[in-house]
Amino acid sequence: MKKDIGIGVIGVGMGLDLLYLNDDPSSRFQVRALCAAHLDKVNRIGKECGISFTTDDYRALIERKDVQVVVVFSPDHLHAQHVKQALNAGKHVVVTKPMVTSLEDALEIVDLTDKTGLKFLVGETCRFYTSFIAIKKMYDDGDLGDLIFGEAHYVHDLREIIPLTPWRIEVPQDFMYGGCCHPVDSLVWFFGEAEEVQAYGVKSGVNPTYPLEDTYLLNIKFASGKLARVLGAYGIVEPPMPMMGLNIYGTKGSAIADFHDFKPTQMRVVLDKLDTKPVFKTDVPPDLKGAYGQGDAVRRYMANFEECLTNGASSAIDAREGTKTIAILSAAWESIRSGGKPVKVHRDF
């Protein structure tokens, strides 16, 4: 297949998971430009991978005529700046999670995509994990019945990660947006737009230099009237449980899916129509083929985006869909700051 859609990647941490595209004969995508804050590092990677244009100036990458799609893997707080610059330059955009770290920026991106007609995708990997996809298919096929309740979690001991990415402390990273976006978006996928959030947050002290709350509980009421809850815990000692989980309870059955980097996990299903209510269990292979254990999920969302560019369809998580999650996270922070009062979620977009 002709490699006629140029990709420019901002950020060469998780952004390295996109380099498979240059060896994928089934894809029209080709990584042609790399940008990172450390010029020596990005020059070395470019030389090793045969990518001729490398830079520490994201604007130079965005302005290249041979780049039609900008993929943003920069630190969370830079997403809005890089996304908006790319859209204003006429580039299609893929941005890793979180979409942005404020509701105001998310709403501006919705307006920009409406104005420009450019394609946009939030690379929220949870929607592309094998086990989560399986549960969604079961629900879409009617096997679980109508939704009753949902739960999702993301728990992560970050003590080994933070020294590798010191910006998480220096900025600091907002773990509500950078972490809770995973379980919240998983629930938005099933339940849709939210109406109200009630949340609490605490500082664990496990990462003593981190200045903000790093552990959260969210109760979410969706516009449909359905309820769900989220645990986001990032200041904890290595938890003896899967890093991520999604539990969906319906009128015909219940399903639970787990995820952990590089490790096989399990999906468990109970169907009400079976008299003895047996628990069906299946091992789910890890989503690998990437430096961070998310390679298969990245490949799936890039394939979705290529399909959008080719056939004109909407992406799996476009600007409006992504903003549903950002609006919930914004309301959760407002609830935490109010001492746990319920807060209405912004829905006018």
Q: Tokens in use for 35?
A: 């940008």
Q: Tokens in use for 222?
A: 């969706």
Facing residues of 150 across strands? 228, 248
pLDDT tens profile 221-275: 999 999 999 999 999 999 999 999 999 999 999 999 998 777 778 899 999 999 9
Q: Which residues of 279-289 are buried (b: 16+ CB within 10 A; e: fewer)?
A: eeeeebebbee
Q: What is the pLDDT of residue 60?
A: 98
pLDDT higher than threshold 80 for residue 294: no
Q: What ranges in the chain are assigned the alpha helix state H?
A: 39-49, 58-62, 79-88, 103-116, 130-140, 167-170, 175-178, 181-191, 295-311, 319-337
Phi, psi of 262, deg, nearest 5: 65, 0
Segment 170-196 shows an average pLDDT of 98
Of 64 and 314, the structure prediction assigns the larger pLDDT to 64
Name the band, by pLDDT with cuts 50, 70 and 90, for residue 117: very high
pLDDT higher than threshold 70 for residue 292: no
Name the band, by pLDDT with cuts 50, 70 and 90, for residue 1: confident
Neighbours of 45 (CB within 10 A): 18
Facing residues of 149 across strands? 227, 249
pLDDT higher than threshold 90 for residue 54: yes
Segment 11-32 shows an average pLDDT of 94
Q: What is the sign, positive or negative, of the torsion defined by CA atoms of 97, 101, 102, 106?
A: negative
Residue 225 neighbours by CB under 8 Å, 6+ apart: none
Q: What is the pLDDT of residue 289?
A: 60
Q: What is the pLDDT of residue 284?
A: 85
DSSP letter, residue 15: G
At 176, is the secondary structure helix, strand, or coil?
Answer: helix
pLDDT higher than threshold 70 for residue 290: no
CA–CA dist 67, 294 (Å, integer): 24
Domains and CATH numbers, the chain: 5-126+296-317 (3.40.50.720), 127-292+325-344 (3.30.360.10)
At 255, is the secondary structure helix, strand, or coil?
Answer: strand
Q: What is the pLDDT of residue 265?
A: 82
CA–CA dist 42, 311 (Å, integer): 33
Mean pLDDT of the chain: 95
User: Percentage of residues in the chain with pLDDT exceeding 70?
Assistant: 98
Segment 92-103 shows an average pLDDT of 98
pLDDT tens profile 196-212: 999 999 999 999 999 99
Name the band, by pLDDT with cuts 50, 70 and 90, for residue 288: low
Q: What is the β-pairing status of strands 194-202 and 215-222?
A: antiparallel
N-terminal to C-terminal alpha carbon distance within the chain? 38
Query: Is 230 in contact with 247 (CB distance < 8 Å)?
Result: no
Q: What is the pLDDT of residue 266?
A: 87
Look up residue 114 and give its amino acid.
Answer: D
CA–CA dist 46, 296 (Å, integer): 23
CA distances from 216 to 236, 238, 249, 296 (A): 12, 17, 22, 28
